[in-house]
Amino acid sequence: MSAAPERGFVVGSRYRLESKLGEGGMAVVWRAVHTETDRTVALKLVRAELVKEQAVREMFVREARVGARIGKNEHIVEVLDAGLDEALVAPFLAMELLEGEPLDATLKRTGPVDPLFAAELLEQLADALDQAHGAGVFHRDLKPQNLFLARGRKGKSVLKVLDFGIAKLAETVQQSTTHVGTPAYSAPEQLGASWRAIAEQRGRTIAAQVSAATDVWALGLIAFEMLTAAPSGAFWGAETLAELPVKMVMEPLPSAFVRARDRASLLPSTFDGWIARCLDLDTSRRFASAGEAVAALVPALRQGRPAATAGSVPPRGPLASAPAVSSPIAVATTPAVPVTGAPTGPPASPAGPLAAGAVVSSPDARLQEWAQARGAALYAPGDVRPLLAWQPFFFLPRLERVYREARLAGPLGAITLAEAGVDDPIRKAVAEDRMLVALVHAQKCRYRASLRSKRSSGGLIDGMARGFRALELSGAAYGILRDPHFEQHYEVTAPSPQEAALALPVPVRAVLVAAGFHGIIELRAGAILLTVFDAARFDPACLERVLDLTTRFLTAMP
């Protein structure tokens, strides 16, 4: 029968145990002192009930070897010694002793991390990961609990990555199981062959092996929780562990702004696009490295501006899957507002942004003056991914690119005004392939519906499309609100009459009729997408008209 570790016990003939620092699923960490040098260390011991588990023992050995392979890094906890205690019949690791607390404890204690501090922490994390990945080591279990905020010089916090025990070396990945890690942060490639097959049936690609992209996936989720102090796994909206892979593989990517709820303003305006690339099912479409991912987000964090005017450098490389504005809702009646995953075909890659209040090169001095006056950030070309999240639209035609866009802060939410190109060869042939759309993230929007004015826009293609749509819509679409006066001007569809009434309450209907609104509105939980047929140009007058209608619409919402 093996001995039991307790205070005063000497492990490996050289480490005297002093007090417990913490316990995990596989190990207990003690504060210990080296009997010869008096150096205080953190001593990690396999739990007594697991000492006979070969897999656990192998993880301890791997952690010691992995540390040596990666080399020293200020942001990776240093493994000083390793061995097997004969009396305990258990392996141990001696690591540098850190003073501080894990990131998850900090978030629970203080709430969201300040953006400037978050930028520093993410850069430190990227530094550690890039060095590990360069050595062919993938962590595979990144989470706030494994990121330790240690007190450094002058009281400044230094991030330390803990627990490389389940890390994998590149040359052994193909022979190893991938289903290892904490479920809320595990990438799709860690789910196993069954989910790869399910994704393939849906036309999606999931890698068969873990890689550096596996840690990029977790990094995206960590950044979301760091900035919002959301609970572990909150991004997915799952209530049970069994739901997680379903949310990840079979449902559209949720909007970070919707998941953040009343803390959405703490996120940069381009966070949805950024995290969408971190969380792409296809590893080849994620950021190429942790450093690249962090570099794309940090500028926005350091601007210190509200979410609506903060901009980050749009990611380079292939287009990520666009984030959905809300998770699918069961539809009780037809016709329903469809919400599915966004198409994967990439449009032109967006160019880098300009600072808020800056403008693109344009011969139109009025547009430049308008941007300065509004404090808007102009982009040319813009980022189509937030719009792709809404496809397929119910009334709005399919959008494929954004030629120009303006991002600014409205009184009720972050607004993006985009000159969007329509993916329709017939519209292109008759020069009706550009629309001005407004995407607004607003917590007031809590229900789903689609609305279109019955008056023709005057375009040839719009008239044809209206005729075909009239044949597709059931009678419920025209009487769904039971408001004859309103439905004399607009056609509406929603998952049910009840949701239509909640999405478009009487005050909102009154505003639209009084304003003579002529266009399309697509509503989802947490956001609204609006286009105005008689304000179709990307010029100050049209932009102001769209802003005015959007503000009046949202102000009328209860």
Per residue in 128-187, pLDDT (tens digit) is 999 999 988 898 889 999 999 998 777 788 999 987 755 554 544 333 334 445 788 999
Beta bridge partners of 424: none
Q: State the pLDDT at residue 467.
A: 40
First and final CA of the chain: distance in angstroms?
69
Return the structure tokens found at 201: 């049936």
Average pLDDT over residues 109-122: 94
Q: State the pLDDT at residue 326.
A: 27
Mean pLDDT taken over the chain = 77
More confident residue, 551 or 228: 228
Place of tokens 């005729």: 467
* Cis omega (within 30 of 0) for bond into 335: yes
Q: State the pLDDT at residue 131.
A: 94
Q: How far is CA 46 from CA 92, 232, 259, 318, 345, in A?
A: 7, 25, 37, 43, 49
Most confident segment among 3-12, 134-143, 219-228: 219-228
Average pLDDT over residues 507-517: 91
Average pLDDT over residues 36-50: 86
Q: Where are the alpha helices (DSSP H) in 389-449?
A: 425-429
178/71 Cα distance (integer angstroms): 25
Q: State the pLDDT at residue 304.
A: 55
249/319 Cα distance (integer angstroms): 18
149/226 Cα distance (integer angstroms): 12
Q: What is the CA radius of gyration of the chain?
A: 27
pLDDT tens for 45-85 read 887 777 677 767 667 776 667 777 888 899 998 888 888 88
Give the three-state DSSP class for 154: helix
Q: State the pLDDT at residue 181.
A: 54
Q: State the pLDDT at residue 68.
A: 73
Tell me which of 183-187, 290-294, 299-303, 459-463 is least confident: 459-463
More confident residue, 459 or 276: 276
Q: pLDDT category, 431, cuts 50, 70, 90?
A: low
59/24 Cα distance (integer angstroms): 14
Q: At what angle do helices 103-110 and 212-228 cross, to 10 degrees?
A: 20
Pairing outcome for strands 147-151 and 90-96: unpaired
330/343 Cα distance (integer angstroms): 21
Q: Kindly provide the residue ranges of all beta strands, DSSP E only, lying in 206-346, ordered along the sequence.
A: none
Tell whether the model's pLDDT for residue 331 goes beyond 60.
no
CATH 3.30.200.20 boundaries in the chain? 10-97
Beta bridge partners of 419: 404, 436
* Cis omega (within 30 of 0) for bond into 392: yes
Contact 463, 456 (CB under 8 A): yes
Q: State the pLDDT at residue 386.
A: 80
Name the region of 115 (left: φ>0; alpha: ψ -120 to 50; beta: rest).
alpha
Q: pLDDT category, 125, cuts 50, 70, 90?
A: very high
Residues 6+ apart with CB under 8 A from 522: 337, 390, 393, 394, 395, 396, 450, 528, 529, 530
195/204 Cα distance (integer angstroms): 11
Average pLDDT over residues 429-438: 75
Cβ density class 531-542: b for 16+ within 10 Å, e for less: bbbebbebebeb
Q: What single-letter amino acid sits at 130?
A: D
Contact 337, 296 (CB under 8 A): no
Q: Show which residues are catalytic.
A: 141
Sheet holding 147-151, edge to edge: 100-102, 147-151, 157-161
Tell whether the model's pLDDT for residue 372 goes beyond 60.
yes
Place of tokens 């020293």: 72
Q: What single-letter amino acid sits at 426?
A: I
Which helix (H) or strand (E) element contains residue 407? Answer: strand 399-410
Q: State the pLDDT at residue 142.
A: 92
Q: pLDDT category, 204, cuts 50, 70, 90?
A: confident
Tell whether the model's pLDDT for residue 441 goes beyond 90.
no
CA-nearest of 502, 499, 482, 478 to 490 is: 478
The yes or no reply on domain 10-97 and CATH 3.30.200.20 is yes
Q: What single-letter amino acid sits at 156?
A: K
Q: State the pLDDT at residue 51.
A: 67
Q: State the pLDDT at residue 39.
A: 94
pTM of the full structure: 0.55
More confident residue, 432 or 488: 488
Return the structure tokens found at 309: 């005017």
CA-nearest of 259, 278, 355, 302 to 114 is: 302
Tell me which of 182-186, 274-278, 505-509 is least confident: 182-186
Return the structure tokens found at 47: 């739990």
283/207 Cα distance (integer angstroms): 7
Q: What single-letter amino acid sits at 554?
A: L
Average pLDDT over residues 191-212: 86
Sign of CA pseudo-dihedral 355, 358, 361, 366: positive
Beta bridge partners of 236: none
CA-nearest of 470, 438, 439 to 452 is: 470
Q: At what angle do helices 115-134 and 290-303 cross, to 10 degrees?
A: 170
CATH 1.10.510.10 boundaries in the chain? 101-303
Average pLDDT over residues 249-259: 86
Phi, psi of 24 (to 5 degrees): -130, -170
151/56 Cα distance (integer angstroms): 30
The structural architecture, per CATH, of the domain 101-303 is Orthogonal Bundle (1.10)
325/253 Cα distance (integer angstroms): 8
Q: State the pLDDT at residue 470.
A: 40
Most confident segment among 57-61, 114-118, 183-187, 332-336: 114-118
